Amino acid sequence: MNITGNREDAEDVLQEAFLKAFEHLPEFREDSRFYTWIVRIAMNEALMKLRKRRTSREVPMEDSSNESGEVLVREFADWKPNPEQEYARAELEGILQRGVKALPEGFRTVFYLRDVEGLSTEETADLLNLSVGAVKARLFRARLRLREELSKIFKRG
């Protein structure tokens, strides 16, 4: 507990140390005392716990207090979107999908490969047997049409 600094980590270290000692008992060479061997295992486990804690982003669950002894209650926020945010995301996704589906097939394919899949202009041109200039022109027109379509929807509210 002197090494880890808290009871929970010390208990974890103790349990891991005994487990490792039990697993490696046949490897104990009896050229030292059993006590020193098991203490060395526990020390190594405690130091490993400290190394893991340094890189970990864990926060203790218990409430802390300030200098005046006032308890500072921790509040844990749920990072998942709430139902309203989830619905808004799904609605926006549907609007975008309908807008992309409304594009002519040649524009839609270039838009999908470039802006959704992230292919380069050259890769898209090779894949579709088009010139680089044709890919750029189709992508420009696809984005323009999609922007016009989406602005109609969003201006209406």
Question: 0.85 exceeded by the pTM?
Answer: no
Angle of CA points 8, 50, 18, to nearest 5°: 60
Measure CA 53 to chain center.
Answer: 19
Is 70 exceeded by the pLDDT of residue 38? Answer: yes
Q: Which of the four pLDDT bands, split at 50, 70 and 90, describes residue 157?
A: low
Is 70 exceeded by the pLDDT of residue 50? Answer: yes
CATH assignment of 7-58, among 3.30.43.10, 3.30.210.10, 1.10.1740.10, 3.40.1360.10: 1.10.1740.10
Residue 27 DSSP symbol: G
The pLDDT > 70 percentage for the chain reads: 89
Q: Which CATH number applies to 83-156?
A: 1.10.10.10
